[in-house]
């Protein structure tokens, strides 16, 4: 069994792993391939990666997921699949992130096992408490500052973010338009870190952007 094939349990020190959560977006692929972009983010300090593919043909998605998993193993970074529990199961991902309209956390847990990471999107204290009760390991809360990657986002204030952090015992990350310029306004809310898309992958130097975001996240969040 090679290092990239072995099972790794990242659920035990998850809070530290959520400092800089990188979510891929194929629309930013250009000079670099998606895999090269992810590698640049990891070199710069991305601490966890979510592969998000809404339109890729299934066999290509699965192949890509296996490549990204191997890359993440090299950097000892957890690798999650957005929405698709089947792909997460088939490629041996470290977990899955679910929206409010995706599979239930309980069903994902039953299928993926106890040592996998299950994240859930939440927009209110009620949704957050339900997600935790149903077995979520962490919550992604937003959109805090709008979003350049989603059109159907729900606006969440920093006050609601703080209320959610206080209402649950699992880690919370902020998502939705978060970048180096505005992330300081989230200090004191109780989040473990930030999830970013364009603040990483739309930047001319992804590695440098990741380094700056990770350093600031380590300083601001607990």
> Are the beta carbons of 41 and 201 closer than 8 angstroms?
yes
Q: What tokens does 207 get?
A: 């590695």
- CA-nearest of 222, 220, 218 to 45 is 218
Give the residue numbers marked as catalytic: 52, 121, 150
- The CA distance from 221 to 82, in Å, is 24
CA triplet 13, 10, 188: central angle to 5 degrees?
40
| 159: Cβ contacts below 8 Å, ≥ 6 apart | none
Sign of torsion over alpha carbons 33, 10, 115, 120? negative
Handedness of CA 22, 153, 93, 34 (dihedral sign): negative
CA angle 73, 202, 143 (to 5 degrees): 85
Burial class for 90, CB neighbours closer than 10 Å (0-12, 13-18, 19+): middle
């Amino acid at each position: 069994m090679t290092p990239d094939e072995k099972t790794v349990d990242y659920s035990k020190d998850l809070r530290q792993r959520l400092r800089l959560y990188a979510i891929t977006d194929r629309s930013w692929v250009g000079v670099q391939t998606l895999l090269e972009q992810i590698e640049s983010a990891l070199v710069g300090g991305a601490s966890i990666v979510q592969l998000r593919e809404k339109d890729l043909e299934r066999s290509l998605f699965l192949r890509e997921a296996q490549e990204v998993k191997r890359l993440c193993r090299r950097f000892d970074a957890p690798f999650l699949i957005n929405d698709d529990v089947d792909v997460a199961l088939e490629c041996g991902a470290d977990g899955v992130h679910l929206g409010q309209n995706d599979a239930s956390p309980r069903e994902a847990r039953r299928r993926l096992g106890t040592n996998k990471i299950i994240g859930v999107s939440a927009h209110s204290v009620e949704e957050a408490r339900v997600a935790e009760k149903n077995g979520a390991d962490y919550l992604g809360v937003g959109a805090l500052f709008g979003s350049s990657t989603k059109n159907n986002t729900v606006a969440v204030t920093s006050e609601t973010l703080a209320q959610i952090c206080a209402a649950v015992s699992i880690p919370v990350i902020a998502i939705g338009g978060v970048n180096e310029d505005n992330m300081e306004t989230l200090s004191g809310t109780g989040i473990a870190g930030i999830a970013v898309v364009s603040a990483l992958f739309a930047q001319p130097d992804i590695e440098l952007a990741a380094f700056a975001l990770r350093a600031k996240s380590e300083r601001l969040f607990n």
